[in-house]
Every structure is written in C-alpha cells, then in structure tokens.
C-alpha cells in the first residue's frame, strides 16, 4: 500500500508545488470515488492519497481522469470549460508553457482556423490552431518508476516542462522527489495563461492557503473568453488573476493575496523554444490597488477592430499595461506619464479623464487643478486671439505648445522654473492658497511626479460650463480630441 500526504505548508515546497497540490485537489473533487482505483482525502491545507496497486497504475489512472483531448484541444474535465473560447485558451496556454517543447506534444502539421465571436456586434475573429494529437500527460510516464512500477527516489524534471525552474539546459535536469513530482502534473489546472503582444506568454501561478475555499471559488467561475486570454503585459496579467480571485465570490477569507508571473519568450541561448523564462514577477495587490485596476480595465478595454483588408483583430490598450505596471511597482497610477506620452502621442483620452476624476489624492488634486486652471486661462487667450484673426483654433497645436513647455525641462530646477513661470503668467482661482503645496511638490524628491501630474492635467483638460459640466462648445478641442480618440488603436499591435 502506498500513502502520500501533500501539504501546502510543507517547508520544502515552492509556489508551483503548492499550486500543483491545489490543482490536484480540484481534479479529485470532480472524480467519482465509488469505483476509483485510489482513495483520497482533501482537507483545508493538504491532500492525502492512498492506493493498493502499483504507483505507476495509480498515477496513470489519476492523470487519465484529469486530462483528455477533445477536437484537437487539451481539456481538463474539472475546469468545466463548456465553450470553444475557454477550451482554446486553456489548451493553447498549456501547450505554449508546460508543453511548449516539441518532445512534450504532437501536433497536426497543418493549422485549422477556429472562428470566435469576441463581441456580439462585431465579425468573428479567426484563430489559427494546430490540433493536438497527444501530449506528455496522456503518455506513459517514463523515467518516473522502477521496473516494479514503484516511484524512483529521485525523478528528473526537464526545464521546459516547468518554465523557469532551470535557468539554462546546461545546468542539467531538476531532480524531484515523488511528493514533489505528483503536484507538478496537476499544476496546469491552477494556473492562468495569457497571450501577450509579440507572441510572448504570461504564466500566472496563484498562492493558495485553503484548498476547499479555492475549489469553491474556482467552481463558481463563469466561463473564460478570448478577451480574458489576451493581456498587454505580465504585470497586468498578475493583477487580473488577483482581481478575478477577489470578485469570483464573497469569500474574502483565505483569498489569493499574491501570485507569481512567469514572462515567457525567446532567449538568445536557445532558439528552439519560444517560451523560455524572461522575467519573474511576484505581485501583491491591496484592495485599493485592485479598485484602481478594476476601473482601468473598464475604461481601457480591448476592442475588435478591422484591418485595411477588412479582417477583424483584437486591439489591446496601451494605457492599461502602463497603469498596471505602476500599480504592481507600488507607484502612483499616473507615474511616468512624462515618458509614456513621449512614446505615445495618441492615447485613450476619455479614460484618462475619468481616472483623474476619481483616483487623485487631495494633494495631487491641488496641483492638478492649479495646472488645469492655468491652462484654461491660457486657452481662453488663444481662443480670443484666433477669433480676432478670423481663424479656427488649432487645439492640438496649442496643447502641444504647453506640454512641450512643461516637458522640455530635464532637471528639477528647470522644471520648477518652468511650472512657476506658467502658473504665474496664467493665474487661476484653483492656484490660490496652494503656494506651499506646489513649492513642496516641485522642490521635493517627488518633483517627477509633479511633472507627470502637470502634463496629465494639460493632456486631459476639458472645458467646463458654469454648472461644471463639460462644455463641448468651449473650444474646438473636443472635435480634435475625438478624432484622436478614434485613432487610439494605431499604437497597438495586431495578433
């Protein structure tokens, strides 16, 4: 008789092993134990396995109960992926991470188009997929058992089978014990997979502290769309998992507090694989951070667009990953707008306006309002001058002049002088009584944040009526910015 106890709190386990135990618990929760070849018990922090047969028979049976191939896609029964989008995302995610090496799976030589409806009122997107014939999980597990069908004391785990485990193949294979090897077979069930721009992948591994609570949350999960499968950055992918874990149910206790994100892509030392570890992020997120991120997801969504040839594709926001990377690094969400705007002349302005209206602190709001007030007075003078000259105001040019004026300084002293000169020349009611706050901003260690805020204030300015509502007739700005808004997707990459 063989008996194994796999605990989340075993001191020698890594996060992938603990997540693998979670995946194993999920798989077992979906198996009818009446005629099972093995028996098991799932507690809050451990899975206990027992069997009378050989280790080889037991493990092969368990894996076969977990994975299967349907219509050329790898399917995990316990995930209950009922639609094509969910099955495609899981299968493609696993094949591009855990089974990325050609030795780990066999695919058909020709690709098959898979039509997917991403938005109800938009054309179908055609995804190209080579159907799966067989893979590591459904083959005989070699190098794991001795001649009697019992576990070897040390089991070799190849680097490509667990991305990031081995830095380079020159370091050799990773040696694992049976209790460490078993969870790795079920790790794919607990992970999330995201396709990023440039053909890279993000593999997100959650930290789980209570098996039963996590299984309940995962069973409440309602579908998985192709939009959920696409992510513009590794940091955004990690925040998405944490937000998903928080909002799946009202179970706040034992929620996933952090996750690890493996960013996979090309490495110069191995041209045979495209899913080697490029970076690893450990992502924590407070409720406040997730609140900001959740709003950003709504304000900067991915959208179906058409190419010049009329072919549909999914355009990803470039503002969302910029905000996400700031949140992951525990910075203000608008940090680095100075560099961001330099690289991206066109951005989702309406979304940024909403972010500034809802997610600025009191001290940030004072500086922001002072700059917008000064810009409003400057703009008013430009409008009057344009009318006297009998021409229409070039709002884009006017805005660029002010942005350049505040963006040109490279040092703290230069920026302080430029901002003070601007606010002094175009005084506003909003700047009255804020001298001390502005002084501390521009002469303190956070002067770069002040520069980001000042530029953001100009870039997101909206004319106001007397009752405070946006005034679309205040300037010609609205028409111009709406035209720029329609070109937002020019800076995103195609699939």
Going from N- to C-terminal start, the domains of the chain cover 2-282, 357-491
pLDDT of residue 196: 92
Among the listed residues 317, 297, 295, 315, the one whose alpha carbon sits nearest the alpha carbon of residue 306: 315
Mean pLDDT within 238-263:
80
Measured between alpha carbons, how far is 163 from 160 in angstroms, rounded to an integer?
A: 5
User: How deeply is 466 buried, as exposed, middle or buried, from its count of CB atoms within 10 A (0-12, 13-18, 19+)?
Assistant: exposed
pLDDT for 491 beyond 80? no
CB contact at 8 A, 444 and 384:
no
pTM for the model: 0.85
pLDDT for 471 beyond 70? no
Q: Is 321 helix (H, G, I), strand (E, B) or coil?
A: helix
- Would you tell me how many other CB atoms lie within 10 Å of the CB of residue 277? 18
pLDDT of residue 172: 66
- Enumerate the β-bridge partners of residue 121: none
pLDDT for 456 beyond 90? yes
| Backbone conformation region of residue 101, classed left if phi is above 0, alpha if psi is from -120 to 50, else beta | beta
* pLDDT tens digit sequence for 36-60: 999 999 999 999 999 999 999 999 9
- Enumerate the β-bridge partners of residue 464: 470
Give every CB contact of residue 236 below 8 A, 6+ residues apart in sequence.
Answer: 320, 321, 324, 325
pLDDT for 128 beyond 80? yes
Mean pLDDT within 276-296:
90
Mean pLDDT within 461-470:
55
Mean pLDDT within 345-351:
79
Q: What is the DSSP letter of 441?
A: H
Question: To which residue do tokens 């299967």 refer?
Answer: 68
pLDDT for 228 beyond 70? yes
- Enumerate the β-bridge partners of residue 112: 129
* pLDDT tens digit sequence for 366-425: 999 999 999 999 999 999 999 999 998 888 888 889 999 999 988 999 999 999 999 999
- Enumerate the β-bridge partners of residue 280: 262
pLDDT for 248 beyond 80? no
Measured between alpha carbons, how far is 449 from 419 in angstroms, rounded to an integer?
A: 13
Winning range, highest mean pLDDT, from 57-71, 206-220, 382-396: 57-71
Residue % of the chain over a pLDDT of 90: 58
Mean pLDDT within 445-474:
73
Helix axes 395-407, 362-388, angle to 10 degrees: 130
Mean pLDDT across the chain = 85
* pLDDT tens digit sequence for 156-200: 887 656 665 555 556 667 888 999 999 999 999 999 999 998 889
* pLDDT tens digit sequence for 83-123: 889 999 999 999 999 888 888 899 999 999 989 999 888 88
Winning range, highest mean pLDDT, from 159-168, 274-283, 285-294, 433-442: 285-294
pLDDT of residue 51: 95
pLDDT of residue 132: 96
Q: What is the DSSP letter of 89?
A: H
pLDDT of residue 174: 80
pLDDT of residue 270: 67
Position with higher pLDDT, 224 vs 465: 224
pLDDT of residue 276: 74
Q: Which is it for strands 67-70 and 73-76: parallel, antiparallel or unpaired?
A: antiparallel
């Amino acid at each position: 008789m063989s008996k194994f106890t796999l605990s989340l709190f075993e001191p020698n386990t890594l996060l992938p092993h603990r997540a693998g135990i979670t995946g194993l618990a999920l798989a077992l929760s979906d198996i009818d134990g009446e005629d099972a070849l093995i028996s098991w018990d799932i507690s809050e922090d451990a899975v206990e396995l027992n069997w009378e047969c050989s280790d080889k028979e037991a493990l092969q049976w368990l894996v076969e109960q977990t994975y299967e191939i349907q219509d050329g896609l790898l399917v995990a029964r316990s995930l209950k992926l009922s639609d094509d989008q969910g099955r495609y995302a899981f299968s493609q995610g696993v094949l591009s991470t855990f089974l990325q090496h050609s030795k780990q799976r066999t695919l058909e030589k020709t690709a098959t188009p898979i039509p997917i409806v991403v938005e109800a009122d938009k054309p179908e997107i055609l995804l190209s997929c080579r159907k799966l014939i067989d893979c590591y999980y459904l083959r005989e597990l070699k190098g794991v058992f001795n001649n009697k069908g019992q576990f070897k004391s040390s089991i070799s785990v190849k680097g490509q089978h667990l991305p990031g485990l081995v830095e380079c193949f020159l370091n050799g294979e990773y040696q694992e014990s049976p209790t460490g090897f078993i969870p790795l077979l079920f790790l794919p069930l607990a992970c999330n997979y995201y396709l990023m721009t440039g053909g890279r992948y993000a593999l997100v591994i959650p930290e789980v502290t209570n098996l039963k609570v996590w299984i309940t949350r995962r069973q409440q999960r309602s579908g998985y769309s192709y939009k959920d499968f696409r992510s513009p950055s590794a940091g955004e992918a990690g925040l998405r998992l944490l937000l998903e874990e928080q909002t799946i149910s009202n179970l706040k206790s034992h929620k996933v507090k952090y996750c690890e994100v493996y960013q996979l892509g090309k490495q110069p030392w191995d041209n045979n694989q495209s899913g080697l570890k490029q970076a690893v992020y450990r992502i924590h997120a407070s409720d406040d951070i997730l609140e900001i991120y959740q709003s950003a997801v709504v304000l900067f969504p991915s959208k179906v667009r058409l190419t010049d040839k009329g072919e549909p594709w999914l355009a990803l926001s470039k503002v969302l990953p910029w905000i996400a990377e700031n949140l992951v690094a525990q910075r203000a969400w608008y940090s680095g707008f100075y560099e961001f705007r330099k690289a991206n002349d066109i951005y989702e302005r309406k979304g940024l306006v909403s972010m500034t209206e809802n997610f600025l602190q009191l001290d940030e709001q004072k500086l922001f309002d002072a700059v917008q007030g000064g810009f409003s007075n400057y703009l008013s003078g430009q409008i009057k001058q344009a009318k006297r000259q009998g021409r229409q105001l070039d709002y884009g040019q006017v805005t660029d002049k002010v942005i350049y004026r505040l963006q040109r300084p490279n040092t703290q002293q230069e920026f302080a002088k430029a901002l003070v000169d601007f606010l002094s020349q175009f005084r506003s009611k909003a700047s009255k009584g804020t001298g001390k706050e502005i002084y501390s901003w521009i002469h303190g260690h956070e002067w770069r944040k002040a520069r980001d805020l000042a530029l953001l204030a100009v870039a997101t300015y909206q004319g106001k009526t007397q009752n405070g509502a946006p005034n679309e007739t205040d300037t010609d700005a609205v028409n111009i910015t709406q035209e720029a808004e329609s070109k937002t997707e020019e800076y995103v990459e195609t699939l």
